[in-house]
Amino acid sequence: MKPTEASNITNNNTITKIMVFRPTLEEMKDFSKYLEYMESKGAHHGGLAKIIPPPEWIPRKAGYDNINVQIKCPIKQVVSGSQGFYQQFNISSRSISFRDFKKLANSADYRTPDFFDYDDLERKYWKNITYNSAIYGADVPGSLTDSDCKEFNINNLNTILDLINDSYGIKIMGVNTAYLYFGMWKSSFAWHTEDMDLYSINYLHFGAPKSWYCVPPEYGKKLEKLANELFSSQYQECPAFLRHKMTIISPQILRKYSIPYNKITQEKGEFMITFPYSYHAGYNHGLNCAESTNFALPRWIEFGKRATIVSVIICNSQY
Ligand SMILES: O=C(O)CCC(=O)C(=O)O
């Protein structure tokens, strides 16, 4: 099916918008082929793309009413800073079951505030970012997708990244295995590109939406230059400090410094794809659960060579 274009919150007319794809079940059978089709339409230039699967695609036949997962290492996200630039400190907290996490996320202290529309909620996010730290059940190894789900199974995408696993028996948690993310209102992911500048795929299984910002690969260097200036002490300590996933910069600052960006909100039942060297950041609107992993296509190989060299040279001690 033909793609549509979703969002263009930019300060620059030349930026490629985020494209939205609606594949048929048949088209979802070969993941790498479909991703290459998306790129033939220019989707990678937007930095992010959305995929809305057809209703007959069912990743979990049992549904989501009886999720029995232990979130062993939830993190309390303490955010400091002001006026659009922030550092997020992740403090490990004690293990919690999903049942209890759900109660916490819906409790008076943590639940989503009343809002009129997504723009209103976005304003509330940026206004309250440093208050009432959210708890994020992030990077939980596991999958909620049925193992016999044949199309777009995040745990088994069969891209060239799997060759590492197949040939060398290497499993890198969250990189070529699936991770779950149990979110609540205001839980956030800081500006980053993927490890080794890989692609990522993120499926929102259930719950409240997830809002994303993204700076397309063409403007990644511009964002890095700005971040290095705004966070000069972090830059002095580590020239690749964005890889520590602690830096939050508001869209207002991006506009002020003319960094082109896109934004989009992912609803439950939708996939997001991030492309190599696409910076992205975002936040959850309330209780939800996403599943994510990295993958590669042949176009990634040149990004991979560059990312590995840069990381090994300048940020070795941080991994
Ligand atoms: O959902 C999250 O917190 C992580 C999102 C992300 O960065 C990704 O899926 O690539």
The rounded radius of gyration (Å) of the Cα atoms in the chain is: 19
Q: What is the pLDDT of residues 200-243, one digit of tens each?
A: 999 999 999 999 999 999 999 999 999 999 999 999 999 999 99
The pocket around ligand 1, CB under 6 angstroms, is made up of 138, 181, 189, 200, 202, 210, 274, 280, 290, 292
- Which residue out of 154, 192, 280 has the highest number of ligand 1 atoms within 8 Å of its CB and is therefore the one to mutate? 280
**Buried b / exposed e along 76-88 (16+ C-beta atoms within 10 A):** ebebebeebebbb
Residue 14 has pLDDT above 80, yes or no: no
The helix (H) or strand (E) run that includes residue 262 is: strand 262-266
- Looking at residue 173, its pLDDT comes to 67
Residue 271 has pLDDT above 80, yes or no: yes
Residue 50 has pLDDT above 50, yes or no: yes
The helix (H) or strand (E) run that includes residue 204 is: strand 199-207
* Catalytic positions: 174, 181, 192, 194, 280, 292
Sketch out the chain's domains with CATH numbers: 4-57+67-146+155-318 (2.60.120.650)
Between the alpha carbon of residue 103 and those of residues 106, 110, 156, 225, the distances in Å are: 5, 10, 32, 42
Q: What is the mean pLDDT of the segment spanning 100-107?
A: 98
Nearest residue (CA) to ligand 1, atom 10:
200
- 204 CA from centroid of ligand 1 (Å): 10
